Structure 1
Amino acid sequence: MTTAAALPRGFGNLWTPLGVYEPQADTSLLARAIRGEGVEAGMDVLDVGTGSGALALLAARSGARVTATDISWRAVLTARANAALAGHRIRVRRGDLTGPVAKQRFDLVVSNPPYVPTPYGFRGRRHGSARAWNAGLTGRQAIDRLCARAPDVLRSGGVLLMVHSGLCGVDESLRRLEGSGMRGSVAERSYVPFGPVVTERLPWLRSQGLIGTDEDTEEVVVIRAERI
C-alpha cells in the first residue's frame, strides 16, 4: 500500500510506501530552513535519515550534489525511486546516520531524525519501519549521536540543520552541539497539531509530564549549528 504525499510548492508529489516516513509539518519547517541557507550548484549536501527523499530532492533541485542515507532498505529504495521519477541524481546509501559517508565532507547536513519519546516495550520500537519514528525513552536516541557525529562530516564553516520536537530537549541539543565544537541556535520554530505518532502515545506522554492535559499542539524546532 502506498500513499501520495501532497507537499508545499517545491517538493512535487512523492510516493511513500507503508513504513516510510511520510513528509509532514516538520519536513516543511526544515525545508524552509534549507531554502534559507541558499543552497546552490556546486554545494555538497547530505540528508541523514532521508526517508522518502523529500529533502534530498529539494536540495538537488537547487543544483547541489546530494547524498542521502537511511538505515532502512525500504526508505533507501523509496528515495531512489522518487529521485528517478523526478529526474534528479541523488546518491542514496544504506547505513546508520553518517556511517556510509564517514570519510566524506559536506557543506550542509540536514536531518529529520526519529525524535518522539517512546515508552519502553512499545511495539516495534527497535525494528522494522518503527525505526523511522521511535526514539527511545527521552526521544534522543538518534539525536545525541547525530550531534556527536555531524562535525566529522562537515567542512569548516559547514552547517547542520536538524529538526526535532521540543519534547526531547532543545537546550540539550544546543549543549551537545557546543560540546562537539559547533555553534548552534534555533533557526525555525513552529507549533503544530499532534501528528499520528504523538497521538498514538499521548496518554503515556501526558503521564510523563511531557505534554499537559490541555495542550493540543507540539513545538517543533529547526536547530542550526555551524562547524567552527
Structure 2
Amino acid sequence: MTTAAAVRLPGMDHVFTLPGVYAPQYDTYLLAEALRREAVGPGADVLDVGTGSGALALYAARLGARVTATDISWRAVLTARLNALLARRRIAVHRGDLLEPVRGRSFDIVLSNPPYVPTPPGSLPRNGAARSWDAGPDGRAFVDRICDTAPSLLRPHGRLLLVHSALCGTEATLERLSAAGLWAEVTDRMSVPFGPVVRSRLSWLRSRGLLGVDDEQEELVVVRAERI
C-alpha cells in the first residue's frame, strides 16, 4: 500500500492552474508514479485524457514522449497550453470530450485521471469545477466510457493507465477492460484522507453503502491494462 506522503515526483508541483481547473493532487502523483515505470522515452506516443492542468502531460513530455492531451474545458486547455509554454515542452492540447479529439489515432500509452466521485442523482455539471470530479450515482459515467473506447486507440502492447477511487468499483473496471480484450490489473493503491468533495457527501455515500461509518480514508487505485 502506497502512503499519501510517499508519492512526489520532480517537476509536478510547479504548474499553474486557472480557477475551476483541477490542480495536481494525490491521484495525479499516483498515476505519474505508474507512468514512470513504463519505460517511456523518445519515440513513444502518449495521450493524456482529461488533462486538467496538464501536469501528467508535462511529466510524460519530460520523460521524452511525444504527448497529446485532451480536455472538454476551455480553461483546462488554456491552462495546459500555458504550462507547456512555461516549461518549454511541446504538447498538443485539444479541446473535446474524452477521446473524441483523437478518434482514428493510436498511442503507446493512454493516461487518464477522469471524474470518478459518486454523485447524488441529477444531471452532471456542464461547467465549473465540479465537472472535474462529479461522475454520476456510481462514479462511473466517464470511467466506463474510457474503458470502452481506449482499447481502440492502443497499439499492440499499448497500455492504458487509469486512476480512480475504489468508491466507483475497482472490480467493475477490471471486468470491463477484460471484456474489451485487454489484460488488466491493479498496480498501485493509496489510502488518502477524505477531500472536501467526499466529506461534503459522506452521509449520502454511507447511506449507499459505499463507505462505512468508521471509514476515514479513501482508497485510490491505478489500473493498468495492456493490449496483447
- Give the TM-score range, shorter chain: over 0.9
Note if contact 2:15-2:53 (Cα within 8 Å) is conserved in structure 1: yes
| 1:89 aligned residue | 90
Please give the secondary structure, in 2, of the residue aligned with 1:14.
coil
The residue aligned with 1:152 is 152
1:211 positional shift: 0.8
TM-score, normalised to structure 1, is 0.94
1:61 aligned residue: 62
Question: Contact 2:9–2:33 (CA<8 Å) still a contact in 1?
Answer: no
Instruction: Please name the residue that 2:125 is paired with.
Output: 126
Specify the alignment match of 2:32 in structure 1: 31
Stretches (4+) displaced over 3 A: none
Q: Is the 8 A contact 2:109 2:159 kept in 1?
A: yes
Indicate yes or no: 2:48 matched with 1:47. Answer: yes
Q: Which residue of 1 aligns with 2:194?
A: 194
Separation of aligned partners in 2, 1:31 and 1:120: 32
Stretches of structure 1 lacking an aligned partner (at least 5 in a row): 1-6
Q: CA deviation at 1:121?
A: 3.3
Q: What is aligned with 1:174?
A: 174
User: Following the alignment from structure 2 to structure 1, what is the Cα–Cα distance between the partners of residues 99 and 27?
Assistant: 21
- Paired positions, count: 220
Q: CA deviation at 1:126?
A: 2.2
Deviation at 1:47, TM superposition (A): 0.1
Alignment of 1:89-128 (within 5 A): 89-121=90-122, 125-128=124-127
Q: Secondary structure of 1:17's match?
A: coil
Q: Which amino acid aligns with 2:140?
A: R
Could you tell me which residue of structure 2 aligns to residue 3 of structure 1? none
Which position in structure 2 is the counterpart of 1:4?
none
CA distance in structure 1 between the partners assigned to 2:50 and 2:170 by the alignment: 19
Task: Provide, for residues 133-175 of structure 1, a one-character-per-residue CA deviation record: whole Å limited to 9, x for no partner.
Answer: 1000000000000000011111011000000000000000000
Q: Deviations over 1:1-27 (max 9, x none)?
A: xxxxxx642314111122111111111
CA distance in 2, matches of 1:42, 1:163: 24
Q: Which residue number corresponds to residue 142 of structure 2?
A: 142
Deviations 1:58-100 (A, max 9, x none): 0000110000000111111110011101110100001111100
Unaligned runs of 5+ in 2: 1-7
Measure the CA separation in 2 of the matches of 1:127 and 1:73. Answer: 12
1:21-42, CA deviations, whole angstroms, 9 ceiling, x for partnerless residues?
A: 1111111110100001111111
Alignment partners' CA distance in 1, 2:225 and 2:89? 28
Amino acid at match of 1:189: R
Match of 1:21 in 2: 22
Q: TM-score, normalised by structure 2?
A: 0.94
Residues of 2 paired with 1:10 and 1:188: CA distance? 21
3-state SS of the aligned residue for 2:158?
A: strand
What code does the residue aligned with 1:24 have?
Q
Q: Which deviates the most, 58-67 or 11-20?
A: 11-20
